Amino acid sequence: MSDTQTLVTDDAEEPAASTRPEIPIVPPRRWIKENLFSSKSNGVQTVLFSALMLSIVRWLLSLIFAEASDWTSVTTNMRLLFAYNYPAAQFIRVWFCLGVIIVAAMLTMGAWNAKPEFSLRKMAISTTAGGGFLAVIWFMCTVGFGFAPLQKVDGMSSGLRLGTFLLAALLIALGLGVLNFVHEPHKIWIKFTTMLFALTGSVLGFLWLVPFGRYEFADGEVINESGTVATSTKVPWTYMMLLLVGAYFVGRWLRQFIPEANYRMVMIVWWIVGPSFLIFHVLRDPAFDMGYVFRVDVPMALAFGLGGGALLYALAKPGRGEIARAIGAVLLLFAAYNWLTAGLGSGHLFGWESMLQKARITFLMLSFAVLMAPTFSGEPAARRRFAYGWIGFIAISHWLITGINTPSTLDIAAPPFLGGFVLTLAIAYYVFLASFPLGILMALARTSKLPLFRVMATVYIEFIRGIPLITVLFFFSIMINLFLPNGMSIAELGSVFVGYTLFSGAYMAENIRGGLQAIRKGQYEASDALGLTTVQRTLLIVLPQALRVTIPNLVGQAIGTFKETSLIAIVGGFDLLRIGNSTIPAQSVFQGQKRPALLFVCFVYWVFSYSMSRASRRLETKLGVGD
């Protein structure tokens, strides 16, 4: 076996290196003739539907401009819409979080070496089309057709009209110029860095050159004082855009020094842990009692981290699987007993019931980790990684739990410190993050060979899928505290999150089950024939493939989750929709003005949903799911 004699020398031909596909070029006139006026009926349809679309555009324009002055209700309330009643003096924390997220996003692009390129021809076509759309807007607001559904729209100011006209002319000239005078534009690809600079430049130019007027609003009064972080957007956004560009290059630069796998792992861990850090430690700002932290929290974390790490390192040694399972089972029983005694409040058996909640949670986690030890067993380096992973997990989870349980310095009148779009994003993020493992577990259980798991998962999934989300939310916002052990309670938003996660998890499970079914039987047989255990087969072979197939559906579900967070408005959360629909119309200055705020809310939801779906399409092509 050891000699390295080459058995076969004649090699089959290598598959041809993939090249960029040629885009067949059709001149615009022929394209219009072939696609819009290929026959008489086709021509009639084109004219009719163009008229219909024009009238829809006109209707939208009339919505936007008919009450031109009313947009002050949105511009004034920007802060409210995005962060609700977060104290103005502390607003720099919100910007800090945004900055961190922008930096992380750009570093992530660096880690995956993402530098999407854009075909000049496609860009030119989009530019022309955008200019054309602006021209239509200008036409409808300035001239119009003069008859019923296509009349001129009143209310657009002359300055805005001029600006629209100039911008439309510029875009059309630019687009057509490129298409007609640049040689073979479809073969020219614009680099991502160029796009990044262009984007930054246009956003900054837009911010500093276009007069928005000054609308600030604090505590029910319109104010005109400007320049602070809380009341201005120009200055912070300028910093954000600079961060965006800077972080992208830093990310690319870091690639040279950090091994790709480590870099990616750091970014993945950040996206799982980082947002919690921002929410609970930056936005909420806990006031630590350092004496208590050093007396109780740090020693406890050290004991669990180091003790648990040593235990895991010892148990992950190959051949100790049996002992590990036995110890894991004992720890699991102990942890369960701890939760039960807390729940029943049944007294003083060994004094364990007084154990801190954090210790209880950690014990449960430790028992799971010990049960997983045989799967991660291996050479000392691998076992050390496993142990370090546990220590890192303890450090992060204890830090967060301590932070959450510590009183906040934040001076907010109403209890939830999250509101507006920040709340929408936070709920969507956490629900997706938590329902993902839940969905995977339930999908695996439903396809399991063990009838008990199968029945449990099926009952859960089918039960939840038969109930409307809003019912689940009502139920959990009222009922969950009744089911919790004595002395435990969850804030209203927490219970909404639990209910929504259970709901989302059921749908996630069905999506993932679809992916599991797409895996061929041969993959299971090959893993079995190699001697992989069931857990290894699931984690290394089955799930990676199943999830890859499921990506389009998962992104669809993420978008759905994001949009349906609007339902938490009904059970008491002050999210983006509730502020647009109830809070702003209730302000004395903007009494009853719903339309602009709701249009704006639509726009925000749409921008985010559409970006997500575009990003997922890119991801699909990159992973080759589409073919």
Partner 1 sequence: MIAPDTALTPEMAARDDIITCRGVKKWFGDFQALHGIDLVVKDREVMVVLGPSGSGKSTLIRCINRLEVHQEGDIIVDGIELTNDLRNIDKIRSEVGMVFQSFNLFPHLTVLENVTLAPIWVRKKPKAEAIDLAMALLERVGIPEQAEKFPGQLSGGQQQRVAIARSLAMEPKIMLFDEPTSALDPEMISEVLDVMKVLAREGMTMIVVTHEMGFAREVADRVVFMEDGAVVEINQPEPFFTAPESDRTKLFLSQIL
State how far the Cα of 219 lies from the Cα of 589, in Å rounded to an integer.
12
Residue 262 to residue 27: CA distance in whole angstroms = 48
User: CA-to-CA distance for 292 and 299, rounded, in angstroms?
Assistant: 10
Burial class of residue 477 (count of CB atoms within 10 Å of its CB; 0-12, 13-18, 19+): buried
Taking Cα atoms as reference points, which of 65, 52, 68, 69 lies closest to residue 141? 65
- Looking at the DSSP bridge assignments, the partners of residue 420 are 575
Q: Which stretch binds partner 1 (CB under 8 A): 7-15, 57-65, 351-359, 487-495?
A: 7-15
Report, in Å, the least distance between residue 11 CB and partner 1: 7
CB of 543 to partner 1, least distance (A): 10
**Binders in 8-47 for partner 1, by CB under 8 A:** 8-13, 15
Q: Select from 487, 390, 499 the least CA-distant residue to 435.
A: 499
Distance, in Å, from the CA atom of 168 to the CA atom of 152, rounded to the nearest integer, reads: 18
> Does the footprint of partner 1 cover residue 450 (CB under 8 A)?
no
Q: Which stretch binds partner 1 (CB under 8 A): 282-290, 406-414, 521-529, 588-596?
A: 521-529
Residue 480 or 625 with smaller CB distance to partner 1 = 625
449 is a contact residue toward partner 1 (CB under 8 A) = no
Give buried/exposed letters for 562-593 (b at 16+ CB in 10 A, else e). bbbbbbbbebebbbbbbbbbebbbebeebeeb
Q: Would you give the DSSP letter of residue 351? A: G
Residues 508/511/516/518 CA torsion (nearest 10 deg): -170
* 5 is a site residue for partner 1 (CB under 8 A): yes
Task: Single out the residue of 20, 379, 517, 572 in contact with partner 1 (rule: CB under 8 A).
Answer: 379
For residues 527 to 546, the per-residue mask of contacts with partner 1, x marking binding by CB under 8 A and - elsewhere, is -xxxxxx--x---xx--xx-
* Nearest CB to partner 1, comparing residues 14 and 411: 14
Q: Which residues in the 139-158 window bind partner 1 by CB under 8 A?
A: none
Question: C-beta of 451: minimal distance to partner 1 in Å?
Answer: 17
C-alpha distances (whole Å) from 46 to each of 55, 145, 316 are 14, 18, 69
**Can residue 448 be called a binding residue for partner 1 (CB under 8 A)?**
no
Interface pattern 381-400 for partner 1 (x via CB under 8 A):
xx------------------
Residue 184 touching partner 1 (CB under 8 A): no
Tokens of 533: 């255990």
The answer to whether residues 551 and 623 touch, using CB atoms and an 8 Å cutoff, is: yes
Q: Which is nearer to partner 1, 221 or 525 (CB)?
A: 525
Choices 56-64, 173-181, 515-523, 592-600 (CB under 8 A): range interacting with partner 1: 515-523
The DSSP annotation for 533-546 comes to -HHHIIIIIIHHHH
Report the distance separating Cα 12 and Cα 18, nearest Å: 17
Which of 340, 525, 611, 615 is the binder for partner 1 (CB under 8 A)? Answer: 525
Identify which range of 74-82, 344-352, 437-445, 524-532 contacts partner 1 by CB under 8 A: 524-532
Query: Please, are residues 300 and 363 in contact by the beta-carbon 8 Å criterion?
Result: no
Closest distance of CB 389 from partner 1, Å? 16
Selected binder of partner 1 within 55, 200, 233, 523 (CB under 8 A): 523
**Where do the DSSP E strands lie in 120-257?**
189-190, 216-218, 221-223
Residue 551 makes contact with partner 1 by CB under 8 A? no
Shortest distance, CB of residue 530 to partner 1, whole angstroms? 4
| Residue 318 vs 468, nearer CB to partner 1 | 318
Binding piece for partner 1, criterion CB under 8 A, among 127-135, 256-264, 333-341, 526-534: 526-534
Site string for partner 1, 297-336 (x = CB under 8 A): ---------------------x------------------
Least distance between partner 1 and beta carbon 381 (Å): 7
Task: Give the shortest CB-320-to-partner 1 separation in angstroms.
Answer: 11
Closest approach, Cβ 180 to partner 1, in A, equals 40
CB nearer to partner 1: pick between 28 and 544: 544
Smallest gap, in angstroms, from Cβ of residue 539 to partner 1?
Answer: 9
> Which one of 116, 378, 407, 437 is in contact with partner 1 (CB under 8 A)?
378
310, 526, 586, 607: which one contacts partner 1 (CB under 8 A)? 526
| Element spanning 512, H or E | helix 492-517
Report, in Å, the least distance between residue 138 CB and partner 1: 51
DSSP states of 157-183: -HHHHHHHHHHHHHHHHHHHHHHHHSS
Report in angstroms how near the CB of residue 167 gets to partner 1 at its nearest: 46
Tell me the site size for partner 1, rule CB under 8 A. Answer: 36
Least CB distance from residue 522 to partner 1, whole Å? Answer: 4
Q: Is 6 in the site for partner 1 (CB under 8 A)?
A: yes
Residue 430's nearest CA partner among 497, 337, 377, 480 is 497
Q: Are 255 and 110 in contact (CB under 8 A)?
A: yes
d(CA 156, CA 48): 27
Of 287 and 526, which CB lies nearer to partner 1 in the complex structure? 526
- Give the residue with the Cβ less far from partner 1, 198 or 265: 265
Question: Which of 143, 529 has the CB closer to partner 1?
Answer: 529
| Binding status of residue 259 toward partner 1 by CB under 8 A | no
How far is the C-alpha of 34 from the C-alpha of 228, rounded, in Å?
57
How wide is the angle at C-alpha 65 spanned by C-alphas 206 and 135, nearest 5°?
A: 60
Spatial CB neighbours of 333, under 8 Å, sequence gap ≥ 6: none
Residue that the structure tokens 């669990």 belong to: 304
| DSSP label of 304 | I
Nearer to partner 1, 184 or 627 (CB): 627
Say whether 463 sits in a helix, a strand or coil: helix
Q: Which residues bind partner 1 (CB under 8 A)?
A: 1-2, 4-13, 15, 318, 377-379, 381-382, 520, 522-523, 525-526, 528-533, 536, 540-541, 544-545, 548
